[in-house]
């Protein structure tokens, strides 16, 4: 990573194999990764850990990814955190739904880890360039 600061990323998915894949790829790039296994845990960890970016699965127990995203956007302290939605829905349907819910980007499962890393870098760079505050 080109930045001296280690960015913190929360990954929420109820499929352990997905969180392990995402976590391994992000950690290899130097990011600190926090995982959550359902939507309720994700929302709690977002408020307690203050991640710089969130990767949300759409279909999760307790709260789905869209509900977590809506709750994030409703609170000033989490409203501007970039969010990537992970979805198994067909590409067009997944993209439309993600953007209607104010996601910053989306990835269709199965995904290419290199595309995930590129999206993460772009979103963190855009957030940093826009002057948004990182906690």
| Predicted confidence (pLDDT) per residue in 9-51, tens digit | 999 999 999 999 999 999 999 999 999 999 999 999 999 999 9
User: Mean pLDDT, to the nearest integer, of 82-109?
Assistant: 80
User: Mean pLDDT, to the nearest integer, of 56-60?
Assistant: 92
Quote the mean pLDDT of the chain: 89
Does the pTM surpass 0.85? The reply is yes
Evaluate whether 127 touches 52 at the Cβ level (below 8 Å).
Answer: yes
d(CA 62, CA 118): 30
What is the layout of strands, in order, in the sheet containing 32-36? 32-36, 8-12, 53-57, 83-87, 105-108
For domain 8-129, which CATH number applies: 3.40.50.12780, 3.40.50.2300, 3.40.50.300, 3.40.640.10?
A: 3.40.50.2300
Evaluate whether 84 touches 66 at the Cβ level (below 8 Å).
Answer: no
Per-residue burial over 54-80, b if 16 or more Cβ lie within 10 Å, else e, is: bbbbbebeebbbbbbbebbbeeeebee
pLDDT computed for residue 77 by the predictor:
95
- When comparing pLDDT for 99 and 126, which is higher? 126
pLDDT computed for residue 127 by the predictor:
79
Domain extents in the chain:
8-129
Q: Which residues make beta-bridge pairs with 12? A: 36, 56
């Amino acid at each position: 990573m080109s930045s001296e600061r280690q960015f913190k990323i929360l990954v929420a998915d109820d499929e352990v194999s997905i969180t392990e894949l995402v976590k391994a790829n992000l950690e290899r790039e130097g990011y600190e990764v926090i995982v959550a296994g359902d939507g309720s845990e994700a929302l709690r960890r977002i408020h307690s850990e203050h991640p710089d970016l969130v990767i949300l699965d759409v279909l999760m127990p307790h709260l789905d990814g869209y509900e977590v995203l809506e709750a994030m956007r409703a609170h000033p302290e989490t409203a501007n955190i970039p969010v990537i939605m992970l979805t198994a829905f067909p590409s067009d349907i997944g993209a439309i739904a993600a953007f209607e819910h104010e996601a910053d980007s989306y990835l269709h499962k199965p995904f290419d880890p290199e595309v995930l890393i590129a999206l993460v870098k772009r979103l963190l760079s855009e957030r940093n360039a826009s002057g948004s505050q990182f906690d």
